[in-house]
Amino acid sequence: MKLPPSFYQSSDVVAISRNLLGKYLFTNIAGELTGGMIVETEAYNGAVDKASHAYGNKNTPRTQTMFMEGGIAYVYLCYGIHHLFNVVTSVAGEPHAVLIRAIVPTNGLDVMLLRKKMTKLKPNLTAGPGSVAKALGIDRSLNAFSLQSTEVWIEDRGIEIHPDDISAVPRIGVAYAAEDALLPYRFYVKGNQYVSKPNK
């Protein structure tokens, strides 16, 4: 059920981003199981991608996680407020990552609502990368955790997303990346209400 390490070690980060749609992301933090089905991702293509933190093989205390072997979590703080959860892919030394932008919540709804201080289920519970991390209780203490661990992992539950139901569009919030901002590296399940808002 858990995706094996080999799933993450392909050098085709764009294909992995596509394949992650329909997979299930779970966390088990402090005994609370939460998670859901991935419906939106973005690929960050390592050293040659101007939108990537590791563009030009920039290796810093923050980005060194991206240079590790595929199959671990890369978590960092954005705008001083939001934790963003990424999956590191490819082999050690090649800094590929997939940002998980939205999931359909399936497990631990009550816990996720509590974490976001919400009383009623609405799509914004897990729409958008900051929301996903907050609902799942993810913060930087999970950075570099293995996705084979008992705290955070991804499962294949046999869901197949038909290629016609997947849209590929430019990524969000990376206007600074010049021509790379136009690459169709954002993937989402068409019509799903949990996909984050911009150009749905």
Residues that bind DNA (CB under 7 A): 42, 44, 51-53, 58, 60-63, 66, 74, 76-82, 84, 86, 97, 99, 116, 124, 127-132, 140, 171-174, 176, 196
| Pick 2 or 82: Cβ nearer DNA | 82
Cα separation, 40 vs 194, whole angstroms: 9
Cα separation, 63 vs 10, whole angstroms: 20
Cα separation, 42 vs 14, whole angstroms: 8
CA–CA distance from 42 to each of 26, 31, 173, 193 (Å)? Answer: 18, 29, 11, 18
Q: Minimum Å distance from CB 69 to DNA?
A: 17
Q: Minimum Å distance from CB 131 to DNA?
A: 5
Q: Minimum Å distance from CB 136 to DNA?
A: 12
Q: Minimum Å distance from CB 116 to DNA?
A: 6
Cα separation, 20 vs 9, whole angstroms: 13
Cα separation, 94 vs 54, whole angstroms: 9
| Pick 173 or 191: Cβ nearer DNA | 173
| Pick 102 or 160: Cβ nearer DNA | 102
Comparing C-alpha atoms, which of 43, 27, 15, 12 is closest to residue 137? 27
Residue corresponding to tokens 């995706």: 3
Q: Minimum Å distance from CB 184 to DNA?
A: 15
| Pick 122 or 157: Cβ nearer DNA | 122
Cα separation, 152 vs 30, whole angstroms: 12
Cα separation, 117 vs 140, whole angstroms: 20
| Pick 139 or 155: Cβ nearer DNA | 139
